[in-house]
């Protein structure tokens, strides 16, 4: 679970680019997830923090590299998503705030995560918004797609 929380944060960093409708794919390499809190035998409602580095490849051939910082928290049983993550992605093109909703993909709370997310630009890219997917497929790696609305 620790590693998967970081992946969500990383997706947001990829989005910082010029204002127009743009699609991209991205990959994130995550560090170790640091867990805190949690109650009960399975430490439900635990939170994790993770940092990572991303590479985003835009359809126009541009490549953007940067870093991500994410915080994730398990959600109560029966919630729409198993986990929520809040991330900040930073690159030379700007800063992006990201929120993900994620579900474990059939292997319990230590397997792959599938996430959907919403992103907003900050600073130089203020006013930009878009959507993301994220597949956290291994302990320290994830990949996804995104599109800015403009």
What is the distance between the alpha carbons of residues 133 and 80, in angstroms, rounded to a whole number?
16
Helix/strand/coil for 3 = helix
What are the pLDDT digits (tens) for 38-72? 776 666 667 899 999 999 999 999 999 999 999 99
Q: What is the DSSP letter of 79?
A: S
What are the residue boundaries of the structural domains of the chain, listed by start? 2-148
Let me know: does 3 contact 33? Beta carbons within 8 Å: yes
Question: For residue 138, what pLDDT band results from cuts at 50, 70 and 90?
Answer: confident
Residue 9 pLDDT: 37
Averaged confidence pLDDT in the chain? 83
Least confident of 9-18, 107-116, 125-134, 136-145: 9-18
**Which CATH number applies to 2-148: 2.60.40.10, 1.10.150.120, 1.10.10.10, 2.40.160.20?**
2.40.160.20
- List of E strands, 81-140: 83-91, 94-104, 113-122, 129-138
């Amino acid at each position: 679970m620790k590693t998967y929380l970081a992946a969500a944060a990383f997706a947001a960093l990829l989005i910082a680019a010029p204002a127009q409708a743009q699609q991209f794919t991205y990959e994130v390499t995550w560090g170790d997830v640091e867990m805190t809190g949690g109650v009960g035998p399975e430490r439900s409602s635990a939170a994790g923090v993770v940092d990572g580095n991303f590479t985003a490849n835009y359809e126009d051939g541009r490549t953007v590299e940067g870093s991500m910082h994410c915080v994730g928290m398990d959600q109560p049983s029966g919630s729409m998503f198993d986990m929520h993550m809040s991330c900040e992605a930073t690159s030379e093109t700007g800063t992006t705030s990201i929120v993900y909703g994620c579900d474990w993909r059939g292997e319990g709370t230590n397997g792959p995560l599938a996430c959907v997310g919403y992103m907003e630009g900050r600073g130089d890219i203020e006013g930009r918004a878009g959507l993301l997917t994220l597949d956290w497929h291994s302990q320290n790696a994830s990949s996804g797609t995104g599109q800015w609305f403009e």
